[in-house]
Chain A
């Protein structure tokens, strides 16, 4: 505290309030009994939490989002590993073009991607299917997975692999016993970041999801178009609670900073 002056302290406090206020308001509203969004209030109720039970499509959308995020992130990471090892450690023709290609989804507005995938999947007969969602999400989260995987591949000391080779290890053994364990923290971080982005994605997904393959954010978005009641706030409160619990658990087990920054096991 002593290093930060009072002005810095006020600034940080305001900043945190600015970040947290919408989340807190959502959580408050979730506990109101009214049939519309009311805030502030002095009456409390769990009515809208019970209401979630009457909308099983929210529950199934939640599980779909979870699976979609986990699966597309895992595939994106699996795809990133060879790409990152090639880009990070070899000079070859088309290397920059390859990097640009993998990073390009960051540059394209998700609305455009959504419309493009809608056309494309309809042609292929994948329109509105879960497979289509997974494919589209892989494209969108790939840059995030690749970024962190690449960072850990670039930071890898080649002489460690050379040491293993000189001790008689085959290429496969080096990959399995040395390279992969050393880039693993980057893979985990890349997966986590990709998952968060997938779980959050609504702009593109709203175009390609059909009734029955809606993700949680899409379901919520569609719901508030027709309704003004606080059901989405109670759903949000649940998501926030689950996220907070997951973050605490991760922090206990693994260290949050290490996860998000992508540090390796030995702190290098």
Chain B
């Protein structure tokens, strides 16, 4: 039996269907990402699990028990909101201690666990600060600490890294993954960033218009997309001779599909090509190995492995 299961979960806002019969089983300790374009119902799904949005239909079960019958305050979930939602009038330590206080944990034990969790997210020396005195990345880690310290059964993360710059986001992804591995908390992450979802998750739920188009490990979803939407959402694709081919799986050969280089862009570790062919524009990505590569305007032939 799955740890957390969503069974035909739906949400209608008037006539608009935000979530449409979503079924998903999450195992204990698993890291699952809800991935999809803006407005596809990711936040609504998460809010239904958290209890802040009431489903129009379907069921949510935690270890077989009906979670919808449990009040949001009693669900024991750790939530990191997109806006962090830190308590602005409390210090970092007070923010993190709040959940423990609600559980009636004794003061000494509270202090110990708050200190421990702040260490875990690398904010050991920031306990006395107010949220407004911290950077976005630090606030995000406070939000994570606040959710983790209550030892939640499930961690719900709603685009927690979207406000960070690229470098900090990458650091936080690694940190998040490490923390999740250390603590072993079942985690559901909402994101519209496919790279982030693939980097962090055990499994992806690729959503579109409130439905799950594909549920599976990142590698599988990337290599064997179930629908054209999944293929185009998870990275670039080409449609050549009626088959979809990933740009990095095409190479320059002495024979094959003839074409002419229209643009060539250098991106450090790889080259990005747009090739004009009889079949239309084809995108090609080649690893930068230091060798000379075809230039713009040159005639080339394209080949790829049959799938």
Taking beta carbons and an 8 Å cutoff, which residues of A are in contact with B?
157, 159-160, 162-170, 173, 177-178, 181-182, 264-268
Contact = CB atoms under 8 A, between A and B. Distances in A.
27 contacts: A159-B82, A160-B85, A160-B88, A162-B50, A162-B79, A162-B81, A163-B79, A166-B72, A166-B73, A166-B75, A166-B77, A166-B79, A167-B98, A167-B102, A167-B146, A168-B73, A168-B76, A168-B99, A168-B103, A169-B73, A173-B102, A178-B87, A182-B88, A182-B89, A264-B88, A265-B88, A265-B89
A267 B98 CA distance: 23
A167 B52 contact: no
B150 interface: yes
Contacts of B131: 266
Contacts of A162: 50, 52, 72, 79, 81, 85
A109 B103 CA distance: 54
A170 B81 contact: no
B102 A163 contact: no
Given A173-B102, A265-B88, A266-B89, A167 B150 contact: yes
Interface in B113-162: 130-132, 146-147, 150
Nearest to A171: B73
Contact of B83 (A157, A170, A264): A157
A169 B85 contact: no
B74 interface: yes
A188 B83 CA distance: 27
A168 B74 contact: yes
B102 A169 contact: yes
A163 B150 CA distance: 12
A159 B146 CA distance: 14
B55 interface: no
Interface in B193-251: none
A68 to B, nearest CB: 32
Contacts of B89: 181-182, 265-266
Contact of B87 (A160, A165, A166, A168): A160
B78 interface: yes
A167 B132 contact: no
A182 B89 CA distance: 7
Nearest to A267: B132
A211 to B, nearest CB: 48
Nearest to A178: B87
B87 A164 contact: yes
A118 to B, nearest CB: 45
A264 B88 CA distance: 10
A182 B86 CA distance: 12
